[in-house]
Structures are given as C-alpha cells and as structure tokens.
Structure 1
Amino acid sequence: MTILDTIIARKKEEIAASKASISIDQLKNSEFFGRKTFSLKESVKNKSGIIAEFKRQSPSKGIINDRIQPLEVASSYQSFGASGISILTDKDFFGGSFDDILNVRNHINIPILRKDFMVDEYQFYEAKSIGADAVLLIAACLSPNQIQEFTELAHELDLEVLLEIHTEEELQHFNSKIDLVGINNRNLKDFKVDLQHSVLLKDQLPKDVLSVAESGIYNIEDFKYLKEKGFDGFLMGEYFMKNEDPGNKFSEFISNIAIQ
C-alpha cells in the first residue's frame, strides 16, 4: 500500500464521519456558501502566476513550519502579489483544518484553493461552505469519469478546478471543462523531482490550457526554467513555508524574479 492509498483510505473514514454529523443542507446554510467566488484562472493569468501555499507539514518532509498562523502568511502572500493562496485542509497527514481557510476568508480578496484529497461529492459542498474558490482534483486517485463528474459539480457550485497530473497516462483525465492543469514535478511514489518530465507532459496539453507547475521549485533557476518552457502558474509552498517568515521569503522571491 502506497502513502497515497493510506491517505485515501483515511480520507474516506473522515468523510463518512462528517456526513453523519453535518448534512449537505446544513453546509448550504453556512456563512460562505452563497458568496460569489474569485476566479483562480483569471488571477493566474493577470497577476504573478504564483499560487502560494500555507502548509504545516507533509508525509515526505515531516514538520515544515507549525509555528505561524495562516492569516499572517496569507495576508503577506496577498500583499506581495500572489495570484492565489493554496491551503491544506487535510489534518492527519498535512496538519491542516477547515479553520485555516475560515480564519482567512474574510481578510483576503484573492482566490483560495482548498488543497485536499477530493474523492466524494460531499467534499465539494464542504469546500464551498468554508469559503474556497477552487478545489484540487488529483488524477492519481480518481478515474477520468470521476474527474468529469466532479468538475461539473464544482462548476455548479461556482468553484474552479485545478487538475493535478503526474504521468503521461494521466493526461487522459483531462477534459475541456477543466480550468487549470497542474503538473506535479514530484513523483508521488518515490518523491523524486524531475522538471524535464513536467515540461514533456505540459507540451502534450492543448495550447490554450493554463498550466501550473507544482512542487519541487526550490530556487529562482527552477522558476525561470519552467517559465521559459511555457508554464503559466506555479504552486509553491515548501520553498516559502520552511522559513521562519514565509511572507518575507515570498516578498524576496517576487523581488528577485522581477529583476531577472
């Protein structure tokens, strides 16, 4: 059993417990359910292209930064030009929670991506209820038909979809309704980073699809290489979060790429 299998098994247990305690009708009555969402797609197009992430920990890296609050980080990310904020809501493996989005939502006016392992329709209502603007769909744990159905549901709820792929086989998960396609530079099975592999996958996507490079961007050179190869967006978390002041590190990075 891979770490992804373990995570998904646990996620299904969490969802079952949530369904038993909070109905979809209750989620629909939440504070944020009726709000007009921000477009991550348009923000990636028109701003820095960087979706900056708040992430406390990960299975591969352990604790990254558990000393700083999401509002402080998200506010800094916004003030220095992030196109969006990615916030992990998985508790057991990434140390996240719904509160990490709820505590930020009223204080920033750029899109929030709920980054989690979406395997059930119920989670889309959750995402809408906590104020997310977009959701991540991971091809490695969903079928092409599920991707299609979940994308349609997301759009019904005024949520955008970032589809994450890792392999050439997963290109078949793409459909024309997907808003953005993320290509993970890190292999989920062995955690190795291969930027060239990501470029080869991107080149097989339709030319008009917004592509987002995810993970494994550790320096300006990585960013420049991927930008030159045509990536529109960049989802970056660990590079900023491993620092004592992620917002300041993000500001420094933005300044450096501006003068390149």
Structure 2
Amino acid sequence: MSILDQIIERKKREVADAKSKISVFQLKDSEFFDRPTFSLKETFKTKSGIITEFKRKSPSKGIINDKVSPLEVVSQYENFGASAVSILTDKDFFGGSFDDILSVRNHINIPILRKDFMIDEYQFYEAKSIGADIILLIAACLSPTQVSEFTELAHSLNLEVLLEIHSEEELKHINKNVDLVGINNRNLKDFKVDLQHSVDLKNKLPNDILSVAESGIYNEEDFRFLKEKGFDGFLMGEYFMKNKNPGEKFEEFVSNVII
C-alpha cells in the first residue's frame, strides 16, 4: 500500500468520526460560514503568484518545522506579497489542524487554501466553516466524476478549486469549471521530483486555464525555470518552512526572483 493509499484509508475513518460528532447543520452555524471569500484568481493578478504554505511535517521529510506559530508565519507571508497561503489540516501525516486556519483567519486578507485530502462532501462544509477560500482536489485519489461533482459543490459554497494532477492520464479530470490546475512536481506514490515532467504536462493543459507548479521547488533556479515555462503560480512550502524564520526566508526569496 502506497503512502497515498494509507492516507486515504485514514482519511475515510477520520471523516466518518467527524460526521458522528458534528453535523453539517452545525458547521453551517459557525462564525466563518457566511463570510465573503477571497479569490486566488484575483490575487494572482496583483501579487507575487506564490502560494506559500504552513506545514509542520510530511511523510517524505518528517519534521520540517514545529517551532513556529501559524499566525507568526502567515502574517509575514502576506506582508511580503504572497498571493495566498496553503495550510495543512491533516493531523496524522502532516501535523496540521483546523486551529491552524482558525487562528489566522481574522488576521490576514489573502485567500487560504485548505490543503487536505478531500474525499467526501462533508469536508467542503468543514472547509467553509473554518474560513477557507480554496480547496484542493487531488486527481490521484478521485474520479473525474467526483472532481466535477466536488467542483460544483465547492462553487455553491463560494470556494475556488485547485485541481492537482501529476500524470497525463489525469488530464481527463479537468473540467471547464475548475478554477486552477496544479501540477505536482512530486509523484505522490514514490515522492520523486521531476520538473521537466511537469513542464511537459503543462503544455497539454487547456490554454485558458491558470496553472500552478506545486512542490519540489527547492531554489531560485527551479522557480525561474518553471516561470519561464509559463506557469502562472507556484505553491511552495518546504523551501520556506525548513528555515528558522520562514517569513524572512520568503522575503529574501521574493526580493531575488520577483521583478
């Protein structure tokens, strides 16, 4: 069983447990459920194009940084021009929680991506209830029909959709309603990184869709290479989070690569 398979099996149990404790009706009654959402498609136009990330650990890297607070980090990300911030909410494999989003929602004015493994409609109501603006759909663990149905549900909740793909076969998951398509430079099954593979796949995307290079961007050269190849946005987590002060590292990076 691959790591992705293990995560999905755990996620099914997690969602079932959550449903037994908090109803969708209760989620709809939360503080943030009716708040207006921020648009990543709009912030791409005015900011750096970088989706920064708050991530404590990962299955492939172990502990990345568990010494800093979400508010401290994401506030600096916003100050230095991040287009959005991705916040992991998976606990078992990534050390995240809903509190990581809840603790920052009232303090920043850029979109928040709830980064998790979305396999059930219930999770979309969760995302809305904690103040997320964007959800991630991972093609590797969903069917094209599920992507279409989940996209429709997300839009009914005023959430944007970032669809993540990694293979040519997953191009069939793209539908006209998806807001952005992310190409994961890292294969979720074996965690190998291949930037050229992502570029080749990007060239097969519909011309009118916003593209995001995800993961495995380890230095300024990687960023420039992908930008030159036409990517509209970049999701970067580990590169900043592995530093003692992720916000300062982001400021330094932006000053070097953004003209």
Which TM class, normalised by the smaller chain length?
A: over 0.9
Matched, 1:238 2:238: yes
Runs of at least 4 residues of structure 1 off by over 2 A?
Answer: none
For the Cα contact (< 8 Å) 1:56–1:63, is it kept in 2? yes
Q: Report the number of matched residues.
A: 259
Partner of 1:12 in structure 2? 12
User: What is aligned with 2:254?
Assistant: 254
In the alignment, residue 19 of structure 1 is paired with which amino acid?
K
Match status 1:115 vs 2:115: yes
Alignment-mate amino acid for residue 6 of structure 2: T
TM-score in terms of structure 2 length: 0.99
Partner residue in 2 for 1:196 = 196
Name the residue aligned to 2:215: 215
Give the Å deviation of 1:192: 1.1
Deviations 1:106-138 (A, max 9, x none): 000000000000000000000000000000000
Would you say the 8 A contact 1:45–1:232 is kept in 2?
Answer: no
1:44 aligns with 2:44: yes
Aligned ranges for residues 77-96 of structure 1 at < 5 Å? 77-96=77-96
Q: Structure 1: give runs of 5+ residues left out of the alignment.
A: none
- Percent identical among aligned pairs is 78
CA contact (8 A) 1:179 1:210 kept: yes
The one-letter amino acid paired with 1:172 is: K
CA contact (8 A) 2:48 2:258 kept: no
Stretches of structure 2 that go unaligned for 5 or more consecutive residues are: none
Q: Does residue 181 in structure 1 map to residue 181 in structure 2?
A: yes
| Cα distance in 2, alignment partners of residues 258 and 166 from structure 1 | 26
Kept in 2, the 8 Å contact 1:111–1:133? The answer is yes
For residue 258 of structure 1, report the CA deviation from its aligned partner. 3.0
Match of 2:23 in 1: 23
CA distance in 2, matches of 1:31, 1:227: 38
TM-score (norm: length of structure 1): 0.99
Shift of 1:48: 0.5
**RMSD of the TM alignment (CA)?**
0.6
SS of residue in 2 equivalent to 1:106: helix
